[in-house]
Amino acid sequence: MDPEFFPSAAAPAADSLSGPGHPHRSLGPARLPVRAAPSAAPAGPATFERPKRFAAYVAHELRTPITLQRTLVEVALADPHADAAALRAMGESVLAICEEQQRLIEALLDLTDSQRGLTRHEPVDIATTTKQALRAHDLSG
């Protein structure tokens, strides 16, 4: 992992190959970059380097589980003695990996939406909002 995008990546991921209770690779929760590029970044070749590296990182993060899925299916299909239980286990593993990919993609879509900024602006009466929040949580006394 690129520590610039994922500061916790400096430490090796213990769950990168196997996780407790899962016979294959545990992908862990989808992680989002925690640092944003400065808004007043100078235009030039370096300006495009971070997005390119991030795109390469995301492609790698998606390619890895796809490779694992393909391997699980190929191994199961290559085994002439694979029974229904073995095929079911393979299917469950592939499904779990698909769910992790879906979470990663949803996180990336959320990131894209968040970078667009607010789509509408409207005034808010903070006093009224605060009173409503206090009443809702019965903290007003």
Q: Average model confidence (pLDDT) for the chain?
A: 74
Domains of the chain as residue ranges with CATH: 7-136 (1.10.287.130)
Confidence band (pLDDT; 50, 70, 90) for 50?
confident
Residue 135 has pLDDT above 60, yes or no: yes
Q: Report DSSP letters for 60-85, one per residue.
A: HHHHHHHHHHHHHHHHHHH-TT--HH
Number of C-beta neighbours around residue 26 at 10 A: 19
Q: What percentage of the chain carries pLDDT values higher than 70?
A: 64
Query: In terms of DSSP H, where are the helices of the chain?
Result: 45-78, 84-116, 126-136
**C-beta of residue 79 within 8 angstroms of C-beta of residue 86:** yes
Each residue of 76-127: pLDDT tens digit? Answer: 999 999 999 999 999 999 999 999 999 989 988 888 877 777 677 888 899 9
